Amino acid sequence: MPLDSTDAYVLSRIDGVTLAHEIVDACGLDTRTVTEVLNRLTAMGLIQWTDEAPASEVSEPSSDRPGGRVSGTRISTKRNIEAIRGATPQLLEGFERLTHYQLLGLYSDCADHEIKLSHMRARNLEEGTLAARMAARLGAERVLARVFTAYEVLRSSQGRRKYDEYLLYREETRAIEDALSEGVRRASLVPSRAPSSTPVSKGGVSKEDSMVPPHLPAESITADHLVAALREHAPRGARRKRAEGLVRDAIAEREADNLVGATNALRLANSILPDCTALEGALATVTREMNESLAPTLRAQAMYEENLQMWEAAAETWEKVLLGQSDDARAALGVAQALLEAGGDLKRARRRAEEAVKAAPEDAECRRTLARVYIAAGMTKSAQRALNIADSLERQENNRRGVLSRVSARWRRS
């Protein structure tokens, strides 16, 4: 049985790892078409499924299953097994994401004596401990450094309390970041064009990739406006139909205050039908709204990381705060200070310190932090100028406080 162009195209999107509903997104075709192709490929013996459910049972989504998802069955492969061998990037990322409790093999409600016992076992890299398994792949020095940090934080009641509070914020932000990463991954599966349709921009002129899409006014982010823009932008077909469905999903998620879901739906729609100015503008606006809504939670997390002296993590979290509050002097200052403490990128520290000074020119702490960056970079003259300005600002502030204090004392006597 020969393959037609659609069969060959769907087959090219199967890599042994991608889920069935992700293949639908990657092809940019409707669910029924992809399901029929998967059934034919299975019948021809070109693909096989790992569980007992054959491809013929991959059915159309019901009304209570949003997003046009089909079965999550994976096509059989050895790639997943091979991915966990050795110090892969995924393993390194997983190690960094471990909490202190997980690294020591503890529950969060463990007793103090359990912390001491688990630390001793982890420090000695006893067989069967997570620390020992990680050390075998990542090296003992790296793992033991984290074991020491974990014990130092958890051994005192105050340090443990602050860490538990921090975990609440981290859990929330990590869940959001994981959802966004999954949205980016799914969008990346979509090829630039499908064989059955060629999306074109209005007027037949494609935009340069380097252009930043303008933000669409928030009041214009409606299903009617965006669907009309899609219909003007692209010819009728399965890709446009899929993009229209994603737009409607995004509007519903935004109205329900699920800005992460709205962002992911719009990102996927942009991948299926690229170069639509209205769609790109809607994605830019909703992404900005999402970053603004996340900023308070990220700010609290960054402050906990500073208190726990987790400087690298604090620098990255303050950077995320800046995504939603670009003119926030405290966030820019936090990045610069954390990078200095961590011995990180001095160029980035200087840029953020200068931004903090620009946003809060009367803040002596911002000036002193900039001076510290200049000193670390060997820019002694610039550092001295920044320190002189900081001293002047502090004298002015002290004089102001002195005047207010004297006025207040006179008022009380009268």
Q: What are the structural domains, with CATH classification, of the chain?
A: 1-83 (1.10.10), 92-155 (1.10.287.110), 327-413 (1.25.40.10)
Query: What pLDDT is stored for residue 330 in this prediction?
Result: 96
- For residue 161, give every residue at least 6 positions away whose Cβ sits within 8 Å of its Cβ, in sequence order, or none: none
- Residues of 192-219 as b/e, b for ≥16 C-beta within 10 angstroms? eebeebebbeeeeeeeeeeeebebbeee
Query: What pLDDT is stored for residue 76 in this prediction?
Result: 33
Max mean pLDDT among 136-140, 192-196, 355-359 falls in 355-359
Query: What pLDDT is stored for residue 222 in this prediction?
Result: 92
Quote the CA–CA distance of 391 and 397 in Å, as a whole number: 10
Query: What pLDDT is stored for residue 196 in this prediction?
Result: 40
Higher-confidence position of 210 and 116: 116
CA-to-CA dists, residue 65 to 18, 61, 318, angstroms: 19, 6, 37
Query: What pLDDT is stored for residue 247 in this prediction?
Result: 94
The count of residues in the chain is 414
Show the tokens assigned to 155: 């051994």
- For residue 330, give every residue at least 6 positions away whose Cβ sits within 8 Å of its Cβ, in sequence order, or none: 299, 356
Q: What is the pLDDT of residues 168-216, one digit of tens each?
A: 888 888 889 889 988 888 888 887 654 444 443 333 333 333 345 688 8
Query: What pLDDT is stored for residue 245 in this prediction?
Result: 92
Maximum distance among all alpha carbons in the chain? 103
Quote the CA–CA distance of 334 and 306 in Å, as a whole number: 9
Q: What is the pLDDT of residues 191-200, one digit of tens each?
A: 765 444 444 3
Q: What is the pLDDT of residues 258-272, one digit of tens each?
A: 999 999 999 999 999
| Residue type, position 286, single letter | V
Lowest mean per-residue pLDDT among 150-159, 204-213, 323-332: 204-213
Region 19-44 average pLDDT: 72
Query: What pLDDT is stored for residue 413 in this prediction?
Result: 64
CA-to-CA dists, residue 323 to 246, 292, 309, angstroms: 25, 7, 23
Instruction: Look over the chain and give the mean of its residue pLDDT values, rounded to a whole number.
Output: 80
Burial of 95 (0-12, 13-18, 19+ CB in 10 A): middle
The torsion angle over the Cα atoms of residues 206, 226, 246 and 256, rounded to 10 degrees, is: 140
Quote the CA–CA distance of 41 and 351 in Å, as a whole number: 55
Quote the CA–CA distance of 169 and 298 in Å, as a whole number: 8
Quote the CA–CA distance of 387 and 205 in Å, as a whole number: 53
Q: Are 268 and 282 in contact (CB under 8 A)?
A: no
Query: What pLDDT is stored for residue 376 in this prediction?
Result: 93
Query: What pLDDT is stored for residue 204 in this prediction?
Result: 36
Higher-confidence position of 135 and 411: 135
Lowest mean per-residue pLDDT among 225-229, 238-242, 302-306, 371-375: 238-242
Q: How many CB atoms lie within 10 A of CB 236?
A: 9
Region 161-173 average pLDDT: 90
Query: What pLDDT is stored for residue 8 in this prediction?
Result: 74
- Nearest CA to 10 out of 255, 50, 20, 2 is that of 20
- For residue 183, give every residue at least 6 positions away whose Cβ sits within 8 Å of its Cβ, in sequence order, or none: 260, 263, 264, 267, 268
- Nearest CA to 242 out of 13, 19, 11, 33 is that of 33
End-to-end CA distance of the chain: 103
Percent of the chain exceeding pLDDT 70 equals 77
Count CA atoms closer than 13 A to 272's CA, side-chain side. 31
16: confidence class by pLDDT, cuts 50, 70, 90: low
Percent of the chain exceeding pLDDT 90 equals 47
Quote the CA–CA distance of 154 and 86 in Å, as a whole number: 30
Q: How many CB atoms lie within 10 A of CB 345?
A: 13
Report angle CA 30, 35, 39 to the nearest 5 degrees: 155
DSSP classification of residue 206: P
